[in-house]
Amino acid sequence: MIAPLLAALLGTIVVQPGGPVPTLTAALALAHPGDRIVVRAGSYREPSLIVALPLEIVGEGDPVFLGGEYSTLEVKADGVTIRGLVFSGGTPSSLEDRAAILVSGANRCRIEDNRIATAFFGIYLKNSTGCRIARNRVSGLRDGTAPAGNGIQLWRSRDVAVEDNAVEGQRDGIYFEFVAHAEVRGNTVSGNRRYGLHFMRSDSCLYQRNSFLANGAGVAVMYSRGVRMLDNRFERNWGSASYGLLLKEISDGVVRGNRFARNTVALYLDDANRNLVAENGFEANGWAVKILANAADNVFEDNSFDGNSFDVATNSRSATSVFRQNWWDHYRGYDLDRDGFGDVPFRPVRLFALVVEQSSPALILLRSSFVDLLDGVERLLPILTPAALADLRPRMRPRR
Q: What local confidence, expressed as pLDDT, does residue 145 receive?
A: 66
Query: Could you read off the pLDDT of 316-341 as tens digits, one per residue?
Result: 767 789 999 999 998 989 999 999 99
Cβ-based neighbours of 359, under 8 Å, separated by 6 or more: none
Distance CA 388, CA 381 (A): 16
Contact 9, 36 (CB under 8 A): no
Q: What is the value of pTM for the model shown? A: 0.91
Q: Which helix (H) or strand (E) holds 397?
A: none
Q: What is the pLDDT of residue 349?
A: 84
CA neighbor of 132 nearest in space, from 113, 156, 155: 113
pLDDT at 204: 97
CB-neighbour burial class of residue 349 (10 A; exposed 0-12, middle 13-18, buried 19+): buried
What distance separates the 2 farthest-apart alpha carbons in the chain?
92
Q: What per-residue confidence (pLDDT) applies to 239?
A: 86
At residue 84, the pLDDT reads 98
324 close to 347: Cβ distance less than 8 angstroms: no
Spans of the chain, pLDDT less than 70:
1-10, 143-145, 317, 350-386
Quick one: pLDDT at residue 370? Answer: 53
The conformation of residue 318, written as its DSSP 8-state character, comes to -
- The pLDDT of residue 2 is 54
Distance CA 97, CA 109 (A): 20
| Residue 397: predicted pLDDT | 93
Please give the full DSSP string across 260-289, using - where no structure is assigned: EES-SEEEEEES-BS-EEES-EEES-SEEE
Neighbours of 380 (CB within 10 A): 8
How many C-beta neighbours within 10 Å does residue 88 have? 16
Q: Is 168 in contact with 145 (CB distance < 8 Å)?
A: no
Q: What is the pLDDT of residues 101-148, one digit of tens each?
A: 999 999 999 999 999 999 999 999 999 999 999 999 999 877 666 788
Which amino acid does the sequence have at 225?
A: R
Q: Which helix (H) or strand (E) holds 315?
A: none
The DSSP element (H or E) to which 111 belongs, if any, is strand 110-112
Helix (H) or strand (E) holding 25: helix 24-30
Residue 153 corresponds to which amino acid?
Q
CA distance readout (Å), 347 to 79, 193, 290, 310? 56, 36, 14, 12
| Strands (DSSP E) found in 2-91 | 12-15, 36-40, 43-44, 49-51, 56-60, 64-66, 73-75, 81-83, 86-88
